[in-house]
Amino acid sequence: MAESRQITGQCLCGAVTVTAQVTNPIVRACHCEMCRQHTSSMFISLATDPHSEAFTGPAKSFQSSEWAERGFCEKCGSTLWYGTKHDGVKNLSAGLFENAANAQLKLEFFVDNCPQGYSLAGDHKRLTTDQTIALFAPQEGTTE
Ligand SMILES: [Zn+2]
């Protein structure tokens, strides 16, 4: 069985420190328009044990839609997380952690929304917009 371990990450300026527990760390890339605007390319998040994260420092959040928020450092602007409001889950930015916590890329969301000038290599799972929405549809139904 995989064991849970604690990881620690920091934003660019070091004002925000985040700790979390990971069991089987993987990363996921999202090419949706909001993630692209927020990060310049794609948002790569690290799967951590739910609700295990803790922040110190000026971590703020911006409500980017009815159901989601995006965390950032108030001082340097580093992307900290993508969070869903209905369950309070925060998907942490992989870039906060050294070597992305040694996690492997397993999943891409909204691949048909990725600009044609670049792509991610590897044989991970790739979900189109329709497939991504279908995956999260049950949760969207609970946001009213
Ligand atoms: Zn910062």
Q: Answer yes or no: is 80 within a domain.
A: yes
- HEC string for 15-82: CCEEEEEECCCEEEEECCHHHHHHHCCCEEEECCCCCCCEEECCEEEEECCCCEEEEEECCCCCEEEE
CATH code, domain carrying 46: 2.170.150.70
- The answer to whether 67 and 123 have CB atoms below 8 angstroms apart is no
Q: Specify if 141 maps to a domain.
A: no
Q: Give the domain range for residue 102.
A: 5-136
Tell me: pLDDT of 137 over 80: no
pLDDT at 142 over 90: no
Distance CA(108)–CA(113), nearest Å, equals: 11
Does residue 6 register a pLDDT over 80? yes
CA of 90 to the centre of ligand 1 (A): 18
Rounded to the nearest angstrom, the distance between the alpha carbon of 1 and the centre of ligand 1 is: 36
CA of 80 to the centre of ligand 1 (A): 9
The number of domains in the chain is 1
Give pLDDT tens digits for 72-124. 999 999 999 999 999 999 999 999 999 999 999 999 999 999 999 999 999 99
CA angle (32 as vertex; 28, 33 as ends), nearest 5 = 145
Please tell me what DSSP assigns to residue 4. P
Q: Are 79 and 90 in contact (CB under 8 A)?
A: no
Look up the pTM and report it.
0.89
CA–centroid distance, residue 89 to ligand 1 (Å): 21
Q: Is residue 26 a part of any domain in this protein? A: yes
pLDDT tens figures, 57-74: 999 999 999 999 999 999
Average pLDDT estimate for 14-27: 96
pLDDT at site 138: 62
Is residue 143 pLDDT above 50, yes or no? no
Q: How far is the CA of 72 from the centre of ligand 1 (A)?
A: 8
Decide: 43 and 79 in contact? Cβ < 8 Å.
yes
Structural domain contains residue 36 = yes
